[in-house]
Chains A and B, each alone.
Chain A
Amino acid sequence: MIAYLLNLAQLAAIFGLLSVSLNILIGYGGIFSVAHAVFFGLGAYAGAHVALDLAPDILLAALAAALIAGVFSALLALPALRVRGEYFVIASLGLQMLATTVFTEASDVTGGLGGLVGIPPPTLFGVSLADPLVFLLVCLGALALALAVVRLLMRGSFGRALMALRDSESAAEALGKNVPLLKTLAVLLGGAGAGIAGALFAFQEAFVNVESFTLDQSVLIMAMVIIGGAGTLAGPLIGTVLLLALPAALTFIPGLPPTDIGAVQQLIYGLAMTLLMIFRPAGLAGRRAGQR
């Protein structure tokens, strides 16, 4: 039971990092990406390779993952960010579908459907972090760091500029904001955060394959941000805990056949999203409709 809870807590911290990083795009930048799992995946593969081929040093793996996911996200976003908001959603959807195929087919790098197995437990400067409690602390530390960075940036001029372009691109430009540059930086930051989450995930599971980096996953991360409250600091965390606890809680409902859990879960997600958008469009941590 303890092992199960520790595992769940590690996952929550990792997905917290994912939703906090996606919130930079969706919540502060108004950039609706449904490809966040792609950068999660790039980070996971990068981290796994560092661990398998070089050394299972968590700092090294996280850095490599952040770099690769960050650079790729900025490169992929450059052409797409020039199109209007609605089209970016479509472009990112296309990217997600493309990436799923590449992750499946490029088996030399990704291990294909079989994935990369036998990822050794992480170390830090030669000290083992294999103990689940220690690894949980590492994941929480990464999440805390990400929150601190987001808080710092969003209270400063970069955050103001980003939120300004979210609310009106043309007015932001008229105040001297370089909108494509700001969006690229936001995407790079968000991508790097997802990459680090990926590296942690690779160590946590000791195994990565494409199934964790599909459109379903991207939609789940997006739902965490929106249900919790996009553009707030705590919102993505609330959304993450709720959406991760839901399937776990369903397993405890007596008489619910395990095979039906997936369907019930989808029903609850769908219903929750719909009700929320009607009664609390800014998310649980956001302001109520009509609230001053």
Chain B
Amino acid sequence: MSALLSMRGLTRRFGGIAAVDGVDLDLAPGIITALIGPNGAGKTTLFNLITGHLTPDAGSVALAGHMIGRRAPHHIARLGIARSFQDLRLFARMSVRDNVLCATEPASWFWQPGGKAARKARAERALAATGLEALARADAADLAYAERKFLSLARILATGARIWLLDEPASGLDPASRARFSALLRDAVADGVTICLIEHNLDIVIELADRIAFLDQGRKLAEGDPATILADPHLAAIYFGERA
């Protein structure tokens, strides 16, 4: 299967440290690829390089064979790559519904292309799928923790993007919310969405991932099917901080 999104030699330095260091990674279409690794491994930085929030010092990103590196974030978003943020970055002083509606409106002028009714329907579906309908009129700032996490997902769902980059979307969720979250991701994948999931909780990774890439100190140490990666004692030692 050819990759939908492929990174080659992606590198980004901050001062002396290489946060991402020559990473090659392919996201195969229609599956969940989990990106794991210890704190500071460069997972979030890798997302920022894909989405244009950071420019790479070297390397390339290709979407379905077309180079998309060095474009502005809004250009990349409009190609159908949606992302969440580790710290959510909700539109705090807007209502839940407006947060989601906003995600269905790609144009930045005074009008939007396409049908308004279809956009509204997409926003309402995203609210329903994330269980936020009853809170649609509340300000995002007033939501509880799990609700905030779901709003961040609802925004992505509403974009209609085919590639989702999710930065620790399930951290801190209670079991019921986690089940809802897993179901949401599985539905998306069943619809053909391609997902890259940064996740620290290995239970969630085992439950959801079709493939795992392991990052440490900016470098991709391993990539493969979950059973193989998680059985590797060397990687486990790094992951659990038993570094020599």
Q: Kindly state whether residue A105 has any CB partner on chain B within 8 Å.
A: no
Q: What is the CA–CA distance of A173 and B227 in the complex, to the nearest angstrom?
A: 37
Chain B residue numbers with a CB within 8 Å of A29 are: none
Contacts of A167 in B (CB 8 A): 89-94
Is A182's CB under 8 angstroms from B108's CB?
Answer: yes
Residues of B within 8 A of A173 (CB): 52-53, 72-74, 77
A contact face: mostly helix, strand, loop, or mixed: helix
Choose from A174, A181, A292 the contact partner of B108 (Cβ within 8 Å).
A181
B101 at the interface (CB under 8 A from A): yes
Distance between Cα atoms of A92 and B145 in the complex (Å): 38
With known contacts A173-B74, A174-B83, A175-B155, A231–B93 Cβ distance under 8 A = yes
Produce 1/0 per residue, A179-200, CB < 8 A to B: 1011001000000000000000
CB-CB under 8 A from A153, the residues of chain B are 110
A153-177 at interface with B (beta carbon < 8 Å): 153, 156-158, 160-161, 163-164, 166-168, 170-177
B53 A157 Cβ-Cβ under 8 A: no
For the complex, is B105 an interface residue (Cβ under 8 Å from A)? yes
Contact yes or no, A174 B93, CB < 8 A: no
Judge if B23 is at the interface, Cβ distance under 8 Å. no
B50 to chain A, nearest CB (A): 11
Query: A265 within 8 Å of B by Cβ?
Result: no
Which residue on chain A has the smallest CB distance to residue B48? A170
> Are A170 and B85 also in contact (CB < 8 A) when A158-B109, A182-B108 are?
yes
In the complex, A62→B95 CA distance in Å? 36
**A128 lies within 8 A of chain B by Cβ:** no
Report the interface size for chain B: residues with CB under 8 A from the other chain: 34
Q: A160-B94, A168-B89 are in contact. Are A176 and B112 (CB under 8 A)?
A: no
Cα A185 to Cα B110 with chains together (Å): 9
Number of interface residues of A (CB under 8 A): 26
What is the distance, in angstroms, from A14's C-beta to the closest C-beta of chain B? Answer: 26
A181 to B73, CA, bound (A): 13
Q: In the complex the two chains form, what is the Cα distance from A181 to B138 in whole Å?
A: 29
- Nearest chain B CB to A28's CB is how many angstroms away? 10
Contact with A along B124-146 (1 / 0, CB 8 A): 00000000000000100010000
B102 within 8 A of A: yes
A171/B77 in contact, CB under 8 A:
no
- Contact residues in B for A161 (Cβ distance below 8 Å): 102, 105, 108
A185 and B90 alpha carbons, distance in the complex (Å): 23
Query: Which residues B85-125 have CB closer than 8 A to chain A?
Result: 85, 89-94, 98-99, 101-103, 105-112
In the assembled complex, 21 residue pairs joining A and B whose CB atoms fall closer than 8 Å, in A order, are A157-B111, A158-B108, A160-B101, A164-B91, A166-B93, A167-B92, A168-B92, A170-B73, A171-B85, A173-B53, A173-B73, A174-B77, A174-B82, A174-B83, A174-B85, A175-B159, A176-B78, A177-B108, A181-B108, A182-B108, A185-B109
- In order of increasing CB-CB distance, the 5 nearest A-B pairs are A173-B73, A171-B89, A178-B108, A168-B89, A176-B106
